[in-house]
Chains A and B, each alone.
Chain A
Amino acid sequence: MAWVNAIVQGILTGGLYALFACGLSLLFGVMKVVNLAHGDLATVAAYIGIGIIAAIHVPFLWSVPIVVVIMAVLGYVLQRSLIQGAISRGELTTLIVTFGLSIVIENGLLQFFTANSRGIGVGSSLISASFSVASGLQIAWLDVAIFGLAVVVLLSLQYFLSASKYGRLIRAVADDREAAQLSGADYRHVFGICAALAFATVALAGIAYGMTTVVTPTTGTDTILLFAFAAVVIGGLGSLWGTLVGGIVLGVAQQIGAQINISYELLAGYIVFLAVLVIRPQGLTARRSQS
């Protein structure tokens, strides 16, 4: 039963990892930007959530849309200023700028919030409760809710990009920004909207992480960025559904590792990641190898 439990918990955690990976995938897919500050931005979202709940005493659920909107605006502004500036100077500059941003954010959080860990107080007993499927198999409602949220976010993104008018515009800009520009689309604005979307998912990921466990200033790089990236690579670059598969594989690998020995949890995840790099560098779900 312990193994079944490990697998079930792993699948549920996989939803959270897929949520981590969403924003990373989206920015890379549309702008070819690998955002090394991705994890730290999620941590910032969690800290904003904690701050809002503490400062203006809103119920937890009300704080979520506020954080999402703040992060989306931040995403648009960052994209139009720093990131766009970096993109136009080349890939190397983009990496340097986002890496610099990552270190600045991490140490800024350390400076202002100390290294102490904080959690988002959920408050509602309904969410912190769990139900029992069988003896030894307890499932927390919170984990189910986050998994559901991840699926909903992925579904809506998929629908938005493939079926909506604006999604079509985003894909056009992603394919050929000059051609889109000639057809009257302002690619900088489209990039900004796209970054806003990505940052909104980053906000959800940060809050979800802060609810399930605690955040510290280094959570962003130690956990969120690396797990998001591992999920993306395991699932296959550039595929939203692959990201969910990758997240689940990573989550299950970690839980099985933890079942063998609690200190193998993270290592097991990275070993699966490295194994996928060796055996199927294009990822589990991709059909053709991507260069």
Chain B
Amino acid sequence: MRVTTDATVRSGQDLKVTRSRRNVAWTGIGALVVAVVLALFPYLVYSGTTAIMVQGLIVLTLASMWNLLAGYAGLVSVGQQAFFGLGAYFVLIPAMHGLSPFAGLFVAAAGAGVVAFPLWWLISRLRTGYFAIATWVMAAAIMLFIEQIQSIGGGTGMPLPGFAGMDPTLLAAYTYWAALAVAVLAIGTVYFLLRSRLGLVLTAIRDDETAARSSGVKVGLARLLVFVVAAAGCGAAGGVLAIDQLQVVPGTSGGVFSVLWTAEMAFAVIIGGLGTIEGPIIGTAVYMILQQTLQSYNAWYLIILGLVAIAIALFARRGLWGLLDERFNIRLFPVGYYLWPPGQTRRRQRAKTTAAVG
């Protein structure tokens, strides 16, 4: 990247630019090992555990997408349940015509992504706060529209066909693998998108939008891309939910279009750490622990999650991962650049506070 040459030219000294302050080869291998171990879970644990993990993986996928939107592109959407719900329907509709629901996951991602284009054109006219409510209105309108179509269940929903006669244990394992694959793909996509040119562009926009715009950065295009990718990811997650529940129910309370889906993804991101790839993972873990512990107390887990999210947003803006990072300087998924001043090596960096880009 140009950053390296620029820095070297300016100082004339031996500057070095790396992705991280530490060697990250082992984290890559670690991530791979974790993914393989997780993939073996259906052979290792009870199906009750994998069923809970499917929920967690859905939230993880959603959280990674919301993090891309809000943490990197500054787009606070509270209407992601629109794409989540559409994804569920994009699995249901082909399944009614004979397509396997697992193949339908591709339709869900692609379909939600395509729908995102015209919606972006509508709501991108509004900024920040009004953008947030506009996404909410958009989700409400999409739900009302879907509820009008009686052939896909109208306002009451529909069972998902396509699994008649399938062994429940096998189905549970396939569902788990599908959820895991979607979550890994989601995190991977976010990671590689942010390491690409887009990551640099988004950082520039976040730091100073006007400056980025005047340097020729296509701000609108970058945001559109993020919006579409996030829609596709949420769509795939909605598809996984349809397969997991074996039905699709619309409706704002308890259905696929409930704003609580967005609340869950947003809270997971904020608690874990907005604007880091690790944040949503930690946040989802916290979310699942709270949800499983407090599940017999109805809505209390959401109340507590909400209060924790508010407190973290006010007092620890970088979330739990931010607190860890401050202490230990760790990045499992480095997407920025680290500038090494002359003479400083990996060994001596811990005492210094130097400019970290991104």
Q: Does chain A bind chain B?
A: yes
Which A residues are within 8 Å of any B CB, using their own CB? Answer: 28, 32-34, 36, 82, 85-86, 89, 91-97, 99-101, 103-104, 107-108, 110-111, 115, 218, 221-222, 225-226, 229-230, 233, 237, 263-264, 266-267, 270-271, 273-274, 277-278, 281, 291
B74 proximal to A (CB < 8 A):
yes
- List B267-319 residues whose CB lies under 8 Å from chain A: 267, 270, 274, 298-300, 302-303, 306-307, 309-310, 313-314, 317
Interchain CB contact under 8 A, B303 and A229: no
Q: A101-B310, A104-B303 are known contacts. Are A95 and B76 too (CB-CB below 8 A)?
A: yes
Interchain CB contact under 8 A, A107 and B313: no
Q: A93-B317, A107-B299, A222-B252 are known contacts. Are A277 and B263 too (CB-CB below 8 A)?
A: no
- List B88-133 residues whose CB lies under 8 Å from chain A: 122-123, 125-130, 132-133
Q: A97-B313, A100-B309 are known contacts. Are A230 and B137 too (CB-CB below 8 A)?
A: yes
Q: Give 15 CB contacts A-B under 8 Å.
A: A28-B129, A28-B130, A34-B132, A36-B129, A89-B314, A92-B128, A96-B270, A96-B313, A99-B76, A100-B310, A103-B306, A226-B136, A229-B136, A233-B126, A271-B141
Q: A96-B270, A110-B299, A267-B141 are known contacts. Are A225 and B133 too (CB-CB below 8 A)?
A: yes
Most A CB contacts (10 A, CB to CB) among B78, B128, B147, B306 go to B306
How far apart are A102's CB and chain B's nearest CB, in angstroms? 8
List 3 A-B pairs, minimum CB-CB distance, nearest first: A34-B129, A107-B299, A104-B306
B253 proximal to A (CB < 8 A):
yes
* A267→B317 CA distance, assembly (Å): 38
Interface flags, B121-159, vs A, CB<8A=1, else 0:
011011111101110110011001101100000000000
Which B residues are within 8 Å of any A CB, using their own CB? Answer: 70, 74, 76, 78, 122-123, 125-130, 132-134, 136-137, 140-141, 144-145, 147-148, 252-253, 259-260, 263, 266-267, 270, 274, 298-300, 302-303, 306-307, 309-310, 313-314, 317
* A237→B147 CA distance, assembly (Å): 30
Q: A100-B309, A267-B145 are known contacts. Are A277 and B122 too (CB-CB below 8 A)?
A: yes
Q: Beyond A104-B310, A233-B134, list 20 extra A-B contacts (CB 8 Å).
A: A28-B129, A34-B129, A86-B314, A96-B266, A97-B314, A99-B266, A100-B270, A100-B307, A100-B310, A103-B302, A104-B306, A107-B303, A111-B303, A115-B253, A226-B137, A267-B141, A267-B148, A273-B137, A277-B122, A277-B126
Interchain CB contact under 8 A, A111 and B298: yes
How far apart are B319's CB and chain A's nearest CB, in angstroms? 11
User: Quick one: which of A34, A107, A110, A264 contacts B306, CB cutoff 8 A?
Assistant: A107
Interchain CB contact under 8 A, B129 and A91: yes
Q: A107-B303, A226-B137 are known contacts. Are A96 and B76 too (CB-CB below 8 A)?
A: yes
Q: A110-B299, A278-B122 are known contacts. Are A96 and B309 too (CB-CB below 8 A)?
A: yes
Most A CB contacts (10 A, CB to CB) among B266, B302, B310, B317 go to B310
List chain A residues, Cβ under 8 A from B314. 82, 85-86, 89, 93, 97
User: Quick one: which of A95, A103, A264 contacts B263, CB cutoff 8 A?
Assistant: A103
